[in-house]
Amino acid sequence: MHIKRTQWAVHKHSGYCLRTQREEFQRVEDEFVRNNDNKGLDEWRLQQHQSWGIQCKDGKQLMVYLNSATVSRLGELNDLKSERREQIHERLSALGREDQYLRFDRGNAERQWNLLVGVSKPLTDRTWTNMLPKLTQLLEENRAEIDKIHQRQHRCARILIAEDLLRQLRRDTHPYQSIINALQMEGPLIQTGFNSLEYRLILPTPFPDNRVIRGWDFFTNLYEEENSIERVEELFNERQETICQELLE
């Protein structure tokens, strides 16, 4: 099929027609010219323009209908996809799967999950039986990954609280702290630990630096072991005497 751009259209914009149509129009025009029938040519052109206008109008109505049908169909597909996703989540929850492990935000795993779950097709018992082994594998891998992320986040939180408690203890037991407070002899903020800041003291501290402290098992165990924030605070208070002795040695 050959489509040719034509310059004679009802509206300002150029239109398109089949090459065979254009050749037929050209043949008819040439025949009127050969017969020197200008009146007939004008009438024929007017008829063609009117016919083209009707086609354009019908075409626009058809496009409106097709667009409406497309939007309606897309809505149906999205509803079907949402229903399928909800049904899968319900069945997985019934099997003991937790919601936090049903969220995928990693490249390949997310794509595989969406290929199984985010499909605009009804969920039949047969489909569920066939897809369950694949879902199980994906969920187990996702669970392990999410657990690692949570462990890192919890460890970071324990480090922050342990360093905050240590920093406060060092300030409270600093032999020159009363002088520093009276003279307001604090320098600019500096980073002293994992995502933590404190004011640099003008008077040098007699305490070990952080590199030495990180070698104290009784302190690093506070955040390396799987403890809650409350338990970290309790353990720190229990070991405070030992920590003070080490700080002052």
Residue 221 has pLDDT above 50, yes or no: yes
Return phi, psi of residue 36, to 5°: 55, 40
189 membership: H or E segment, kind and range: strand 186-193
Q: How far apart are alpha carbons 135 and 112 in whole angstroms? A: 9
9 pLDDT tier (thresholds 50, 70, 90): very low
DSSP state of 100: G
DSSP state of 101: G
Burial class (CB in 10 A: 0-12, 13-18, 19+), 222: buried
Both structure tokens of 180: 């520093």
Gyration radius of the chain over CA positions: 39
pLDDT, position 56: 79
Q: How far apart are alpha carbons 119 and 81 in whole angstroms? A: 5
Q: How far apart are alpha carbons 94 and 205 in whole angstroms? A: 59
Contact 78, 120 (CB under 8 A): yes
Q: What is the mean pLDDT of residues 75-100?
A: 89
Contacts of 64 (CB under 8 A, 6+ apart): none
134 pLDDT tier (thresholds 50, 70, 90): very high
Q: How far apart are alpha carbons 149 and 143 in whole angstroms? A: 10
C-alpha closest to that of 208 among 172, 166, 241: 166
Q: How far apart are alpha carbons 7 and 172 in whole angstroms? A: 90
Q: What is the mean pLDDT of residues 31-49?
A: 85
Both structure tokens of 245: 């002795």
pLDDT, position 191: 55
87 pLDDT tier (thresholds 50, 70, 90): very high
